[in-house]
Structure 1
Amino acid sequence: MIEFQVTVTVEGGLHARPAALLVSRASRSQSKITLNKGDKTVDARSILGIMTLGVSQGDQLLIQIDGSDEEDAAAQIQDLFHQEFAG
């Protein structure tokens, strides 16, 4: 299992468009990918789940990835947050 934290830098937080990009990226993986904010945990393949987290710009998320391609999945998700979602 791989765990890492990200700070959401995208303006407006994880609203519909960035959430859809995250779901798309997570859906490419065979691994289980979860997002944790506070005491809430959701499947990264669920746009509704992501939207219910109410993630705002500046929030920190703990991302957990567990499965056969977890290293590649972690790199893809980190790239999404650090490159595509960067200010």
Structure 2
Amino acid sequence: MEKTFKISALDGLHARPCTLLVSAATPFKSEATLRYKDRSANLKSIMSVMSQAVPTGAVITISAVGEDEVALMERVVDIFISQGLGEEC
């Protein structure tokens, strides 16, 4: 399962938004990945996500694979919307 988002947070995905996303994904058993351009990051690793240096206006894809992928994706979508990080494309 995957969803695409356009980043609207003024500073892109810096430390605080990355921490929110990683904290949201970590409790789930499914694997979660953030893809930006030609690179991918483990959504459960703060250093991996921050190393992507995703700017405002960027389009990213979040994918989840596993037994609780639907719940994981619902949580990630909730974080994007409730925290003003971006909107689903």
Q: TM-score, normalised by structure 1?
A: 0.92
CA distance in 2, matches of 1:30, 1:71: 11
CA distance in 2, matches of 1:41, 1:84: 22
CA distance in 2, matches of 1:29, 1:57: 27
1:1-87 paired onto structure 2 within 5 Å: 2-86=1-85
- Asked if 1 retains the 8 angstrom alpha-carbon contact of 2:25 and 2:43, the reply is yes
Unpaired runs of at least 5, structure 2: none
Alignment deviations for residues 16-49 of structure 1 (CA, whole Å, 9 cap, x no partner): 1111111100101111000000110010011111
CA distance in 1, matches of 2:84, 2:34: 16
**Aligned-CA RMSD value:** 1.3
Unpaired runs of at least 5, structure 1: none
> After the TM superposition, which parts of structure 1 deviate over 6 Å for at least 4 consecutive aligned residues?
none
Q: In structure 1, give the amino acid aligned to 2:12.
A: G
How many residue pairs were aligned?
Answer: 86
CA distance in 2, matches of 1:63, 1:18: 14
Higher helix share: 1
Q: TM-score, normalised by structure 2?
A: 0.90
Identical-residue share of aligned pairs (%): 33
CA distance in 2, matches of 1:86, 1:24: 15
